[in-house]
């Protein structure tokens, strides 16, 4: 059976390949520790689970979700309060917020809502692989914008050739950044708004790591910059701040026309998120703010352990301020794939090779801190054994 042509253009999803490698190693009897995937292992905070259970027992919630294409008003209002309180951003829950099945779904539906076949669409390189897939499925042509350590992994907007900027209809980016961990600045966001306005480029500012920042860095919303709502949307999610990756709950906020367009796509695609999960989301925003600090302490501790281990094996790395990923140069100029293979073979530890995130990801590997402390300690001990001289 043939699948649609558009699927042929999508490169194999990096994590699928990784999963296959891990599967093979496990089948060969190895005790593999994966530091490759960003999926928190700590449980979802209890008040959220409690609220899900309560709402699941209410038969009113067993029907199609309320306000299917937008998400429950109560959820959208909770999002608006959260944005006002934590990011000093005012958003109208009626017109400027949409419930999502996670921010990944938002990326995909933003693409379908904005991109016409043949459109040029900008994305960072290295970048989150799902952007490319969403652009290609919508029929667009992805154009990579390099992000380099010398510029703090922020795109240099003035270096984008003017004919490309003129042609582009949308741009995907995310800070705190997966995979590099870099954070953005207000000055950069202002430039981004100006760039988008002058070229009529719709910004999809994917911000699921907004809360995962360290060393005194403050969460920064794209929408906190004047004019952002004129040019784009922000995607956000409960996956990372509340350890809810499996629950599939997120939100899009910002430009009302884009929100309406995405809502139209969703209206014809899915029927929204189970009401009980949306109630649980309201509980997260209302009762679980302090669990974020707890989560950050855990990641900071793990980050210190990994940085110390890398130093012990001769890899000097100073972490940047965001996400639970460490984006580390490979030692001795090894290719990222060769280094990942070496670690798997010698330490039975899996890291994500930077090449999987784009051409400019070559020469780096990504370690995720979302693994239990005890396992991380074992992984670090194995890396010391394997790479120590």
Ligand X SMILES: Cc1ncc(COP(=O)(O)O)c(C=O)c1O
Interface residue list for ligand X (CB under 6 A): 38, 102-104, 128, 174, 178, 206, 208, 237, 239, 245, 250
Rounded Cα gap, residues 67 and 327, in angstroms: 41
CB 160, min distance to ligand X, A: 21
CB 190, min distance to ligand X, A: 22
CB 245, min distance to ligand X, A: 5
| Residue (of 96, 107, 263) closest to 171 by Cα position | 107
Nearer to ligand X, 168 or 210 (CB): 210
State the pairing for strand pair 232-237/250-254.
Answer: antiparallel
Q: What is the largest CA-CA distance in the chain?
A: 63
CB 74, min distance to ligand X, A: 20
| Residue (of 223, 285, 281, 237) closest to 92 by Cα position | 223
| Residue (of 261, 237, 268, 264) closest to 251 by Cα position | 237
| Helix spans in the chain (H) | 5-8, 14-27, 46-56, 73-87, 103-114, 129-137, 162-167, 186-199, 228-231, 256-267, 275-287, 289-312, 336-347, 373-387
CB 206, min distance to ligand X, A: 5
Nearer to ligand X, 34 or 178 (CB): 178
Nearer to ligand X, 192 or 347 (CB): 192
- State the CB neighbour count (10 A cutoff) for residue 143: 18
CB 113, min distance to ligand X, A: 17
Nearer to ligand X, 123 or 387 (CB): 123
Nearer to ligand X, 245 or 348 (CB): 245
Nearer to ligand X, 104 or 303 (CB): 104
> Closest residue (Cβ) to ligand X?
102
């Amino acid at each position: 059976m043939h699948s649609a042509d558009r699927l042929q253009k999508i490169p194999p999803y990096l994590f699928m390949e990784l999963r296959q490698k891990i599967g093979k190693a496990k089948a060969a009897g190895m005790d593999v520790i994966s530091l490759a995937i960003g999926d928190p292992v700590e449980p979802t905070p209890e008040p959220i689970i409690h609220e899900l259970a309560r709402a699941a027992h209410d038969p009113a919630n067993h029907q199609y979700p309320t306000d299917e294409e937008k998400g429950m008003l109560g959820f959208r209002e909770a999002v608006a309060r959260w944005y006002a309180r934590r990011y000093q951003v005012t958003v109208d829950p009626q017109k400027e917020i949409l419930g999502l099945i996670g921010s990944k779904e938002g990326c995909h539906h933003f693409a379908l809502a904005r991109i016409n076949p043949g459109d040029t669409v900008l994305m960072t390189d290295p970048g989150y692989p799902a952007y490319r897939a969403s652009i290609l499925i919508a029929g667009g042509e992805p154009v990579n914008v390099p992000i380099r350590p010398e510029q703090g992994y922020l795109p240099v907007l003035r270096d984008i050739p003017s004919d490309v900027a003129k042609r582009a209809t949308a741009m995907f980016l995310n800070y705190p950044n997966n995979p590099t961990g870099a954070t953005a600045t207000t000055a950069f966001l202002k430039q981004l708004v100006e760039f988008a306005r002058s070229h009529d480029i719709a910004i999809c500012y994917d911000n699921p790591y907004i809360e995962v920042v360290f060393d005194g860095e403050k969460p920064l919303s794209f929408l906190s910059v004047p004019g952002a709502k004129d040019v784009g949307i922000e995607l956000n999610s409960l996956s990372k701040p509340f350890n809810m990756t499996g629950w599939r709950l997120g939100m899009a906020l910002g430009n009302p026309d884009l929100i309406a367009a995405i809502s139209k796509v969703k209206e014809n695609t899915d029927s929204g998120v189970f009401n009980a999960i949306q109630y649980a989301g309201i509980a997260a925003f209302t009762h679980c703010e302090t669990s974020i600090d707890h989560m950050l302490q855990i990641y900071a501790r793990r980050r210190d352990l990994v940085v110390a281990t890398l130093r012990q094996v001769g890899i000097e790395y100073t972490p940047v301020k965001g996400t639970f990923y460490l984006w580390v140069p490979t030692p001795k100029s090894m290719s990222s794939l060769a280094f990942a293979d070496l670690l798997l073979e010698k330490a039975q530890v899996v890291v994500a090779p930077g090449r999987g995130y784009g051409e400019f990801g070559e020469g780096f590997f990504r370690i995720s801190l979302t693994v239990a402390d005890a396992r991380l300690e074992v992984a670090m001990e194995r890396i010391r054994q394997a790479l120590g001289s």
